[in-house]
């Protein structure tokens, strides 16, 4: 039998422990599919004494994980620590410099430093694999790089954060407000103690930038992702969406377009969308992820499954290790880094669509007239307007407006006209209506 593929594993949290369990539980199957055994020889984590429910006695322990890459008995470094910089990035750089393959689940590191790491790996002729960085156990990156490789991907979008999807679908099912459901999600382990990266859309934006690079052949550009989260949504928004035939989901969307000169530009946005009930993404509930890719020959492809957790994410990590064991290298972003296009961000003002606008206003005469006048002066055509008062006398009023199709610039202008108005007691909320 061929020599084992020898692994150094950094990070023994939920996913790291899951990788060890999976390699043990499916050892015979994995060896058969990889063509050789896959064996962990060294591990590292912050706390050596912590009980993780797994036997670590057969592995060498490294207190300094960044030095693991220098071990002569290691072929592959698996980084499961997280964080865009710090020890994770040092370990990744050391691994490639020492001639080791690198497998990681670190979307933040890939979003910020993926091009440099990929270039170093390509130059050294080494595999760099990060299937687990996007959508957990769903093989969406492999699907784009291999299964849809013959297609021009015209648009890619989806539900990329399980925490937000759990919160939104629970609000939908129970009628409860965001803060209440967030606390429950934290108690159940779906949300971190500090949920900012999840609920403000940053985690989804990291993943979207990686998807956009692979799907669109573009250089990573996380900084240009237009990002907003779900923390400002309330139960009334969920109810209004339902009455209109929609559900609300946090969607990451990327597509390329041509400007007036014919140059390709890249549009990237993470934002809550109103999704039609008959759209596939409307039925994605709980902590599930789903990605839709639209190719010019394959049509619409839907990738759906568990987006996080020890089992699904470990499955993606071990799938990458099997590829490495088989000797599969390939360009990390489908094409060599030098062939990725540096696309300018696309402007959003000309984008056509329907939109949902929610205003929180003072309950007094003339406010509706002020809102509708701003819409009129900006050229926004109103399809429907719903006003909901608060039960207490003299309280605030929620006004929801759904527009007819029109350019985004008109809505932006309407909001500019209303900026600073004493009638508005909170900043307006704007959401796109996802086209079928």
The residues that are catalytic are 207
Phi-psi region of 83 (alpha: psi -120 to 50; beta: other; left: phi over 0): left
Question: Beta-carbon neighbour count of residue 176 at 10 Å?
Answer: 16
The per-residue DSSP string of 258-326 comes to E-TTS-EEEEEEEEEEEEETTSGGGG--TTEEEEEEEETTTEEEEEEEE-SSHHHHHHHHHHHHHHHHT
Q: Which residues have a Cβ under 8 Å from the Cβ of 156 and sit 6 or more positions away? A: 144, 211, 212, 215, 216, 253, 254, 255, 291, 292, 293, 294
User: CA 95, CA 77: separation in Å to the nearest integer?
Assistant: 6
Q: Which residues have a Cβ under 8 Å from the Cβ of 193 and sit 6 or more positions away? A: 186
Q: Are strands 246-258 and 153-159 parallel, antiparallel or unpaired?
A: antiparallel
The per-residue DSSP string of 405-420 comes to SEEHHHHHHHHHHHTT
Take residue 261 and report the two structure tokens written for it. Answer: 């000169």
Question: Beta-carbon neighbour count of residue 30 at 10 Å?
Answer: 20
Q: Which of 296, 293, 317, 320 is nearest to 304 (CA)?
A: 293
Read off the DSSP letter of residue 144: I
């Amino acid at each position: 039998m061929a020599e084992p593929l020898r692994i150094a594993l950094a990070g023994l949290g939920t996913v790291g422990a899951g990788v060890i369990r999976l390699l043990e539980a499916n050892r015979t199957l994995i060896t058969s599919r990889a063509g050789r055994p896959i064996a962990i020889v060294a591990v590292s984590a912050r706390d050596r004494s912590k009980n993780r429910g797994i036997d670590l006695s057969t592995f060498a322990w490294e207190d300094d994980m960044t030095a693991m890459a220098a071990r002569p008995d290691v072929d592959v470094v698996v980084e499961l620590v997280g964080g865009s910089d710090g020890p994770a990035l040092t370990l990744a750089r050391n691994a490639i410099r020492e001639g080791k393959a690198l497998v990681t689940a670190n979307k933040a590191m890939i979003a910020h430093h993926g091009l440099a790491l990929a270039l170093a790996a390509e130059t050294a002729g080494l595999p760099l694999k990060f299937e687990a960085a996007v959508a957990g156990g769903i093989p969406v990156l492999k699907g784009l790089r291999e299964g849809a490789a013959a297609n021009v991907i015209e648009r890619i979008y989806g539900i990329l954060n399980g925490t937000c999807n759990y919160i939104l679908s629970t609000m939908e099912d129970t009628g409860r407000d965001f803060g209440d459901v967030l606390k429950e999600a934290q108690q159940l382990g779906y949300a971190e103690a500090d949920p900012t990266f999840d609920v403000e859309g940053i985690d989804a934006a990291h993943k979207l930038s990686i998807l956009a690079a692979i799907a669109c052949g573009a250089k990573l550009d996380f900084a240009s992702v237009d990002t907003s989260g779900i923390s400002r949504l309330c139960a009334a928004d969920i109810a209004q969406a339902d009455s209109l035939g929609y559900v609300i989901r946090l969607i990451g969307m990327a597509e390329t377009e041509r400007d007036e000169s014919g140059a390709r530009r890249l549009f990237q946005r993470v934002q809550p969308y109103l999704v039609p009930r008959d759209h596939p993404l409307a039925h994605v509930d709980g902590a599930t992820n789903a990605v839709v890719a639209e190719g010019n020959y394959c049509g619409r492809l839907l990738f759906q499954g568990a987006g996080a957790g020890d089992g699904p994410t470990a499955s993606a990590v071990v799938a990458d290790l099997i590829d490495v064991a088989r000797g599969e290298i390939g360009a990390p972003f489908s094409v060599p880094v030098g062939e990725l296009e540096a696309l300018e961000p696309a402007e959003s003002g000309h984008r056509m669509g329907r939109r949902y606008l929610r205003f929180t206003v003072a309950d007094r005469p003339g406010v509706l007239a002020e809102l509708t006048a701003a819409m009129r002066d900006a050229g926004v055509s109103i399809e429907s307007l719903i006003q909901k008062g608060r039960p207490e006398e003299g309280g605030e009023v929620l006004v929801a407006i759904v527009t007819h199709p029109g350019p985004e610039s008109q809505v932006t202008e309407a909001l500019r006209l209303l900026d600073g108005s004493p009638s508005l007691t909170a900043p307006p909320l704007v959401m796109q209506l996802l086209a079928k």
